[in-house]
Structure 1
Amino acid sequence: MTASGSHKGRSLVVPGLAALVALAILIGLGTWQLQRMAWKEDLIAQIQARAYGEPGAILPEPEWASWRADRDEFRKVRVTGTFLHEFEAPVYGLAPGERQGAPIQGYYLITPLKLASGAIVMVNRGFIPTDLRDPARRSESQPTGDVTITGLVRAPEVRNTFTPNDDPAKNQWFARDPQAIAAAHKLERVAPFLIDADASPNPGGWPRGGQTPLTLPNNHLQYAITWFGIALTLIGVFAAFAWRRLQGPASAELK
């Protein structure tokens, strides 16, 4: 190889390394989207298989210790018990508004339901707007005696780095976490899952159940194709750049 050719080859090292890093990132993003697609398809299949039809019973208490979301979440169930309204936990959240892209701020009411056996299941009774957080403003919303709830089994809400810390002393909650709520009120024999109540009307109109999203978007294949397409474009652009650099006159390299 001539000195000029060697110099041209060395001049491609830094751009080549940068292109390889970018290519690895793009391929990683595309692969991640394919993994997300598989997860989303499995989730959609679970919803279709479990969320419709006649409701069944919840998992018996002796089996709660081995409860797994992938086996039971989104299953339609019916359960009877008595609400412990004094332990009602309003969890901050958003609900779809009348206009798309304009959600309503408010709370999801998580209320312990005491079963005849003495065990407790947390029920997400539904959504209330911010101005109804105080139970005194919706006195009809707290039925007494035995109630029967139909809804879907849900896993505890997963916290992330953006989830604020709960403040049990002020009854401020930011995640639908049955065990955290139970611990704050010293409740025992609490199920590791929740029940999202269906849209059956509550006295006074609040809270409004049926908030579980059952139609999930699945655009991950489109995103994966986009990332892989950009990766192929990067390869083509770098190949053209390298060819021009290697074929260019030596004088251009030495300026």
Structure 2
Amino acid sequence: MRRLILPLVLGLVGFAILISLGNWQLRRMGEKEAYLAEVEALIGAAPQAVPAPVDPVRDRFLAVAAEGVFTGNTVRVLVSHKKMGAGYRLITVLETPEGRRLLVDRGFIRVASEIPALPKGKVEVTGNLHWPEEVDKYTPENDLDKNIWFARAVPVLAAHLNAEEVLLIARSTSYDAGAVVPLGVGTEGIPNDHLEYVVTWYGLAIVWLLMLGLFLWRMYKSARNL
């Protein structure tokens, strides 16, 4: 029996580690679900004026409404939508009566569609502020000659369009957007894979315990046959 003590202790230590990892992921899942609920409440809140100055951390997902006149060029950001296919997000500067120049993500248009002319006169856009993190080492260089961009890097867009580093993603507009489909901010893009990790770690703990029991049983049977 003394020969079984060491493998039993080591096996139980391994089991405890796997359980603790499962418990940790369970806590992380609770935290992520609370965060997602907070973000959803923030997205769906009553819109307010765009704060000045803005804070990319404090004001992320803030529901806002802004009015002004669309001015200047429109940047096309190449994206793929699971329901509508390949297309572009259209980003244009909205100049407010106070002289602020805000970036507005007007929405999605298919690759084959023509970019509609900007609406005339004053418009109102309601949506959410966002600073997407879409650039990584695999992101291609923007093709400025063809006006094809590959990420909504707010500082880069702001410098290119001479605007504030503020991106308002439209949810609704006071004008007829035509073929442009607003793609409002949602929580779909925020990963929440913690349940999978919980199941994985607890599953491994159960398998580990079964294998430990089988191993100890074989050692016990072998010792009795000596």
TM-score by length of 2: 0.76
SS in 2 for 1:167: coil
On the 8 A contact 1:138/1:204 being kept in 2, the answer is: no
Q: Please give the secondary structure, in 2, of the residue aligned with 1:77.
A: strand
- Residue 100 of structure 1 corresponds to none
Of the three residues 27, 45, 48, the one matched with 2:41 is 48
Letter of the structure 1 residue corresponding to residue 125 of structure 2: I
- TM-superposed deviation, 1:58: 0.4
**1:139-184 CA distance string (max 9 Å, x none):** 4x41233222111122233433444343334322222222111223
Aligned to 1:116: 97
1:81 matched residue in structure 2: 68
1:95 maps to 81
Q: Per the alignment, do residues 157 and 144 of structure 1 end up closer, same or farther by CA in structure 2, a change over 3 Å counting?
A: farther
- Give the match's secondary structure for 1:168: coil
Judged with a 3 Å threshold, the aligned counterparts in structure 2 of structure 1 residues 219 and 183 are, in CA distance, closer, same or farther, namely closer
Aligned residues: 224
Q: Which amino acid aligns with 1:59?
A: P
Matched residues, percent identical? 21
- Are residues 1:164 and 2:140 paired? yes
Counterpart code for 1:152: N
- Residue 209, structure 1, aligned to residue 195, structure 2: no
CA distance in 1, matches of 2:102, 2:19: 45
Q: For residues 91 and 122 of structure 1, what CA distance do their matches in structure 2 show? A: 13
What is aligned with 2:212? 239
Distance 1:148 1:204, change over 3 A: closer
Structure 1: gaps of 5 or more residues: 98-102
Distance change >3 Å, CA 239–CA 217, structure 1 → 2 = same
Look up the equivalent residue of 1:95 and give its one-letter code. Answer: H
Q: How far did residue 236 of structure 1 move?
A: 1.1
2:128 maps to what in 1? 152
Classify the secondary structure of the residue corresponding to 1:249: helix
Q: Is the 8 A contact 2:40 2:186 kept in 1?
A: no
RMSD: 3.7
Per mean C-alpha deviation after superposition, the further-off stretch among 205-214 and 220-229 is: 220-229
Gaps of 5+ in 2: none
Query: Residue type matched to 2:79 in 1?
Result: G
Structure 2: distance between partners of 1:29 and 1:160: 30
